[in-house]
Structure 1
C-alpha cells in the first residue's frame, strides 16, 4: 500500500472500509481495553472529543460484539464526574475493566490525580466509586497513568501502570486496596513508553506496551514471573510513519488471538493535520511455538475477518454497525443510544447478515422523523447493490416522538452484507433512529 499521506480521501475511505479500520466510526475512540465475558467482547475505550486539538477526554465508552466486526454502541459508562475527589473536566485517560468476585472493576487514571477504581455488578454499569479517593497517587510525579490488571493462577492480582517508568502493586482480594509498597521496576522493558497490558498465557507472562514515541508501535516483553525481570522480545506492531500513537489491548476470542490498538485514520478522512482524535483498530495476532509473537502489519495493511454471521431476527439497536462513517450516536431521551446526524447519501453497513433460506419479509424501524422526504433504501452486498426494500421514514414526521414505520422486504435470502442507504431532500439530519426488527 502507498504511504498513507499520498492517498486521496476517497482512496483512504475505501481502504479503511475494506479492512474495517478503525472499527468505530461514529466517535473518536482510543486506548482499547477489551474484556471477554459470556461469549461477548466488551470493548471499553477512552473518548477524544470531536473538537479536540490536544488530549480532550471526559468519559469512558463501551462497545460490544459477538463477531468482531459488528459493534453496538452503549455510550458512556463512566466519566470524570464519577470521581467526586477529582476536580477535573479533562484527563479521563486509558482505563481497564476486569471481572472478579461477581463484579466488574474499572481502573481509571485521572491525569495528575492518580488512579481511581469504580465497581459495578454489570459490565454495562452503573459504575460507582467505592473509595472516594485514589487507589494510588504518587504526588511527586505524573507517572500514574494507564493501569492494567492481571489476576494470576494462584488468585493474586497485580496492577501495573506508568509513563515513562513501570510500577506495580499487589491488589488484595477486594480489588480496591493493595498490600505492601508500590514497586518501581529497576529496569523497564526496552522501547517501553506507556500503556502496559499484562496477561498470562501458557505459563509465561506478557507485557505489551506502546513503544517509544514517535511514531509509536506496540512492543512486548516476556517474563517467567509476574514481577519480572522483563525481557523485550520485539514488536507486535512495528513503528511506521503511517501513524503517530498506539496503545495495546489483547484477548483470545473464539479460538483466535487479537491485538487492539489505535490509529488516526478516521481523522485522516477529514484532515492530515495532526490532532489528538484517535480511533480504535484490531487485527488477528499469532504466537510462535516458543511463545513469541509474530509481527502484525500496520492496521491499514490488515483485513479483519468476521467470526460467524449476524442474526437479524431480533431487536437490533440501530447503533449496531460494522461501518457508518459520517453518522453520529447520542443518548436517547427514552434511554439507550440512537443514531443521529443522518445525511443524504450516507450508509450504515452490517457484515455477513444471515437472512436464512426463506428470507426476510418485513422490516420495522423505530425512528423520529425530521424530513418528510426521508427514506431508507435496504440494499444487499454494497451501497449500490440489489434493492430489497424502501422504508418511508418521512411518514413519521407527523407523529410525536419516536414512532414505528415498516416496509416489505424482498430478495433478502442467505448471507449478505446489509446496507441501509439514506435519502432525503433536506440533505442534512434527516431523522434519528433507535432500533429495527426484521421478520
Structure 2
C-alpha cells in the first residue's frame, strides 16, 4: 500500500474513540493514586465492582452497529456503568452490548492552541486523585512546524522533512464526573513538547505513585516512530495541571519490531514509515510490565496489535519486542475489567480494539477475553455475543 493511501486510511480519524481507563491496585479496589506498596495493573475498572441495575438513558443501539475508531471502555465503580468515549462524546451501557446515544463531554474553549474543526483523536477518561481526567489528541493544521521539501514518496534527498508537519498533541481536561463537562487545563500547548508531533497519550502511574503520560511520537515527523513518556506535573493537592514536567524519555522505536517485513515485499522506492500507535499497559502478578501497542506489518499493508516487555519491570525499560497478538487489520487495543458476576467475582479482563483498518467495511469494536499466564497476558476468546462480529482467526499464539 502506498504512503498516500496510508495517509487516507489510518490517519483520517474523523470518528476517534475514547480509551477510558481507571487505574486500580491489582487485586485491591483502589484508584490511580497508588503508593509504593500498591502494585497497579493498569486495567480499567475496579476488581469486584458491581454493575448498576439500570441506566438513566435508553440503550437503543447495539455495539455491532456503532462506527468507532480506537475504542476503549471504562467500567466506573462509582456509577456501576460502562463508559465508551468517542471524539468529544460518551455513550453508556450496563451490559457492553446495548448502548445509549452519545452525549457531549468536551468543548474546545476559546483561546485554546488547538482548532476544534481539525478533529479529536483517541480520547480517554482516567480516574486519578479523586477526579476524572480526559486525555485526547487535538490538532492545529494552521500552526506549521515544517513543510515538506517535495511531494510524494520518491523524494530523493529530501532529508527528514518529507511530510508537512503541524501542531498535534495530547491534552488533559478535568471534571468531577465521567460525563464531564471536561475543562481543558492548559490552553497554551499540548502536554508533550509542542515541537513534537505526538498522539495517543495515555496515563501510567509508576510504583512510586508518579504519574506519566506515555505517547507515540509521530512517524510523520520521525519516519521511525517512537514510544516516549513524560512525567506529569501536579499541584500542591496532587491534581494534574495539564503540563509535562522535565524532558521526555525514549522507550523504543517502531522498527524494533522484529516482524516488520515478515510476509511482505519490500518496495525499494518507498520510504518505510514505522508507525507507533496506542500504548497500553498491564503488570502481571509476577511483576512483569507489558505494553500492548499497534503498528503496520507486511510493509504497511496490515494493522496489528503487538507486545513489548520491560526487562527491568520499570517504565524506562529496556524494552524487548515480542510477537504480534492480533492481526488482520485490527488494532489500537486497550484493556478493562468487567463488573463482577457469580461466575467471575473479580470480573474478567477484556481487550477492546477496532477492526477493518485497511478495508472498505465500517470500523467497529471487537472484544476479547484475556487470560494471565504468569508472565504474560494472552487472548482467551473473542466475545462475539457482545461485539456481533465474526470470530477472528488471527489471534496469537494459536492454541
Same fold flag (TM > 0.5): yes
CA contact (8 A) 2:284 2:372 kept: no
State whether structure 2 residue 371 is matched by structure 1 residue 279: no
Tell me what 1:180 maps to: 246
What is the CA-CA distance between 1:43 and the residue it aligns to? Answer: 3.5
- C-alpha displacement of 1:103: 0.9
Q: For 2:294 and 2:111, how far apart are their aligned partners in 1? A: 27
Q: Which runs of 5+ in 2 are unaligned?
A: 1-60, 140-166, 219-224, 261-274, 341-346, 389-399
Alignment-derived partner of residue 209 in structure 1: 293
Q: Which residue of 1 aligns with 2:320?
A: 231
What are the within-5 Å matches in structure 2 for residues 285-324 of structure 1? Answer: 285-288=370-373, 290-295=374-379, 302-304=382-384
TM-score between both structures, scaled by the size of structure 1: 0.52
Q: Rate the CA distance shift 1:32–1:82 in 2: closer, same or farther, 3 A.
A: farther
Asked if residue 170 in structure 1 is aligned to residue 255 in structure 2, the reply is no
Which of 154, 179, 182 matches 1:124?
A: 179
**CA distance in structure 2 between the aligned counterparts of 1:246 and 1:131, rounded to whole angstroms:** 30
* Secondary structure of 2:90 counterpart: strand
Partner residue of 1:249? 334
Distance in 2 (CA, whole Å) between partners of 1:245 and 1:83 is 37
Give, in angstroms, the shift of residue 215 of structure 1: 1.3
Q: Distance in 2 between matches of 1:115 and 1:250?
A: 20
2:117 to 71, 80, 89: 89
**Residues 34 and 41, structure 1, Cα contact 8 Å, conserved in 2:** no
Whole-angstrom CA distance in 1 between matches of 2:110 and 2:290: 31
Which sits farther off after the overlay, 194-203 or 119-128? 194-203
Aligned partner of 2:203 in structure 1 is: 149
CA distance in 2, matches of 1:41, 1:133: 34
Aligned counterparts, 1:310-349, within 5 A: none
Partner of 2:213: 159
Aligned equivalents of 2:246 and 2:127: distance in 1?
23
C-alpha deviation, 1:124, in angstroms:
0.5
Q: Is the 8 A contact 2:76 2:83 kept in 1?
A: no
TM-score (structure 2 length as normaliser): 0.57
Q: Deviations over 1:59-95 (max 9, x none)?
A: 3332233333233334232255687321241231112
Q: List runs of 5+ in structure 1 lacking aligned partners.
A: 1-21, 47-58, 266-271, 307-321, 324-439
1:108 maps onto 2:145 in alignment: no
1:219 to 293, 306, 310: 306
Displacement, 1:264?
3.3
Q: Deviation of residue 23 (structure 1)? A: 5.7
Contact 1:23 1:280 in 2 (8 A): no
User: Shift of residue 258 of structure 1?
Assistant: 0.3
Following the alignment from structure 1 to structure 2, what is the Cα–Cα distance between the partners of residues 60 and 196?
21
Q: How far apart, in 1, do the equivalents of 2:333 and 2:67 lie? A: 16
Taking the aligned partners of 2:188 and 2:130, their CA distance within structure 1 comes to: 23
Q: Deviations over 1:150-173 (max 9, x none)?
A: 123421111111132111011133
The structure having more radius of gyration, on CA atoms, is 1
Residues matched between the structures, number: 258
What is the CA distance between 1:291 and its match in structure 2?
A: 2.3
1:28 aligns with 2:67: yes
Distance 1:231 1:279 in 2: 30
SS of the aligned residue for 1:123 comes to coil
Could you list the per-position Cα deviations for residues 218-244 of structure 1 after superposition, in whole angstroms to 9, with x for gaps in the alignment? 11112211221122232331x22xxx3
Q: CA 1:36–1:155 in 2, change beyond 3 Å: closer, same or farther? A: farther
* Deviation at residue 137 of structure 1 after TM alignment: 4.6
Between the aligned partners of 1:114 and 1:247, the Cα distance in structure 2 is 17
**SS, match of residue 89 in structure 1:** helix
8 Å CA contact 1:208, 1:219 repeated in 2: yes
Q: Give the Å deviation of 1:279.
A: 1.9
How has the CA–CA distance of structure 1 residues 195 and 204 changed in structure 2, closer, same or farther, with 3 Å as cutoff?
Answer: same
